[in-house]
């Protein structure tokens, strides 16, 4: 029992945010008279927030290393506009343009990472400069106009759905994906448990474990079923899911992830323990650049246009998502899943408030308060346990 209590106490922040997300969802579900969780709206929610969530994944890495990136919105716009020129003006195939765009983003990240990691200019300043610089470049490249329309294949990345097989009123393939996914998770959890038993560690009692698995399966299948009722699983959800899984794995399980956390926790101690701190910082920014590029592409594809105003304030939403999701401004603490949950809290609030007809003015104010309260709650919690 103590183990359970400990587990809960150690993860109160993470669980706290999940509980908050569920509470906010239910609140708006009721306020909006049941519209929020309609299949169409859930699909919308995913597509609307995808580009912020992609940024949040990169941003949480940056924040874990103890830095910040203010330039991601501008970088997203810049890469989006360059991709438009490549695809729309020069008729470059979608796939080639995609790869080149991601490389361009990585190059931008390398540029900023160089100043931050090797010249040691504070990231706040470097990326503030980047925010101005790349916004300016966006306008230069676009000559102040929008470029449209994108090729169909490119648009599909943001707005397309997994094709259906079989037909019928619900989307069969989506339901099948849900079932396969829950089976995979079940197998994975079971394997972890077996290994832990082999090592002689304490594991949760079997009924609790079974309940957890049942809950996982229920949530996943309910989710895919709801999606199947509309048009099935959006492509963008698959991209997001792959990114979340990959980045969570890297941060939790790999040497690279460990070193990133160590660097953020105590840079000097990490350096004296053999972590190449400059190199890690540099690559975290390269990665941020590439993800900002992806975010810009997703946004451009969704809008079906590259515009000079794309990506304005994206950085603030992404940063807020990380902090709501439990990252620490002083570095060393934060998770990819946390940032995603933080992003969803913001996303559900945006969507919910729009559904009940709250003006953009109120939305902004309320989001600001939620950010403050979430971090305040976190600090209160920390002081209590210390």
Residues lying near another protein in the complex (CB under 8 A): 10, 195-196, 199, 201, 253-259, 261-262, 265-266, 268-276, 328, 332-333
Cα dihedral 114/115/117/118 (nearest 10): 80
Q: Is the CB of 273 or the CB of 313 nearer to another protein?
A: 273
Whichever of 29 and 277 has its CB closer to another protein, that residue is: 277
Cβ nearer to another protein, comparing 145 with 253: 253
The CB-of-215 to another protein minimum distance in angstroms stands at: 23
Nearest to 51 by CA among 296, 272, 284: 296
DSSP secondary structure string for all residues of 320-355:
HHHHHTT--TTSS---HHHHHHHHHHHHHHHHHHHH
Residue 326 near residue 64 (C-beta atoms within 8 A): no
Name the minimum Å distance from CB 272 to another protein: 6
Please report how close the Cβ of residue 153 comes to another protein at its closest, in angstroms: 34
Phi/psi class of residue 232: alpha, beta or left (left: φ > 0; alpha: ψ in -120 to 50)?
left
Q: Which residues of 195-234 are buried (b: 16+ CB within 10 A; e: fewer)?
A: eeeeeeeeeeeeeeeeeebeeebeebbebbebbbbbbbbb
Pick 233 or 270: Cβ nearer another protein: 270
Closer to another protein by Cβ: residue 169 or 199: 199
Q: Give just the sign of the alpha carbon dihedral 80, 344, 47, 234.
A: positive
Among 59, 119, 148, 131, which residue's Cα sits nearest to residue 343? 59
* Residue 149, preceding peptide bond in cis (omega within 30° of 0): yes
CB-nearer residue toward another protein: 193 or 231: 193
CB of 210 to another protein, least distance (A): 22
For the CB of residue 4, give the shortest distance to another protein in the complex, in Å. Answer: 14
Closer CB to another protein, 229 or 378, in the complex: 378
Measured between alpha carbons, how far is 74 from 238 in angstroms, rounded to an integer? 25
**Spatial separation of the C-alpha atoms in residues 97 and 110, rounded to whole Å:** 20
Which residue, 325 or 332, is less far from another protein as judged by CB? 332
Burial-class residue 250 by CB neighbours within 10 Å (0-12, 13-18, 19+): middle
Nearest distance in Å: CB 271, another protein: 6
Task: For residues 267 and 104, give the distance between their C-alpha atoms in angstroms, rounded to a whole number.
Answer: 29
Residue (130 or 332) nearer to another protein, CB: 332
The CA-atom distances, in angstroms, between 101 and each of 38, 53, 223, 285, 296 are 35, 19, 32, 16, 9
| Closest CB 139 distance from another protein, rounded Å | 41
Tell me the closest approach of the beta carbon of residue 253 to another protein, in angstroms: 5
Spatial contact of 172 and 115, defined as CB atoms under 8 Å apart: no
To the nearest whole angstrom, how small is the minimum distance from the Cβ of residue 7 to another protein? 10
**Is the Cβ of residue 145 or residue 382 nearer to another protein in the bound state?**
382
Shortest Cβ distance from residue 37 to another protein (Å)? 36
CA 110 to chain centre: 21
Residue 19 in tokens = 């509980």
Nearest alpha carbon to residue 240 among 295, 165, 164? 295
């Amino acid at each position: 029992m103590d183990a359970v209590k400990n587990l809960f106490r150690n993860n109160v922040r993470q669980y706290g945010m999940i509980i908050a997300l569920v509470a906010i969802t239910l609140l708006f579900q009721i306020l909006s008279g049941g519209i929020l969780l309609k299949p169409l709206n859930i699909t919308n929610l995913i597509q609307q927030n995808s580009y912020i969530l992609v940024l949040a994944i990169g941003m949480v890495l940056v924040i874990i290393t103890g830095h910040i990136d203010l330039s991601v919105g501008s970088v997203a716009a810049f890469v989006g506009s360059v991709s438009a020129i490549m695809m729309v003006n020069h008729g470059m195939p979608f796939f080639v343009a995609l790869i080149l765009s991601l490389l361009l983003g990585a190059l931008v990240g390398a540029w900023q990472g160089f100043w931050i990691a090797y010249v040691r200019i504070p990231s706040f300043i470097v990326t503030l400069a980047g925010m101005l610089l790349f916004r300016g470049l966006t306008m230069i490249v676009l000559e102040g106009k929008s470029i449209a329309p994108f090729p169909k294949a490119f648009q599909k990345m943001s707005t397309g759905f997994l094709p259906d097989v079989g037909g019928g009123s619900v989307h069969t393939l989506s339901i099948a994906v849900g079932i396969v996914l829950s089976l995979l998770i079940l197998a994975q959890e079971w394997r972890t448990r077996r290994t832990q038993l082999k090592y002689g560690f304490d594991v949760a009692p079997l009924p609790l474990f079974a309940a957890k698995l049942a809950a996982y399966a229920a949530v996943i299948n309910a989710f895919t079923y709801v999606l199947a009722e509309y048009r099935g699983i959006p492509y963008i959800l698959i991209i997001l899911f792959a990114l979340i899984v990959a980045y969570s794995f890297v941060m939790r399980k790999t040497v690279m992830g460990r070193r990133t956390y160590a660097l953020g926790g105590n840079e000097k101690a990490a350096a004296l323990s053999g972590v190449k701190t400059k190199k890690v910082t540099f690559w975290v920014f390269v990665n941020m650049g590439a993800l900002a590029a992806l975010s810009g592409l997703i946004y451009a594809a969704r809008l079906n246009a590259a515009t000079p105003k794309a990506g304005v304030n994206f950085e603030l939403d992404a940063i807020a998502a990380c902090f709501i999701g439990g990252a620490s401004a002083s570095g060393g603490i934060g998770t990819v899943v946390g940032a995603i949950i933080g992003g969803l809290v913001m996303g559900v609030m945006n969507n919910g408030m729009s559904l009940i007809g709250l003006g953009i003015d109120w939305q902004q104010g309320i989001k600001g308060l939620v950010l403050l309260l979430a971090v305040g709650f976190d600090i209160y919690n920390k002081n209590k346990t210390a």
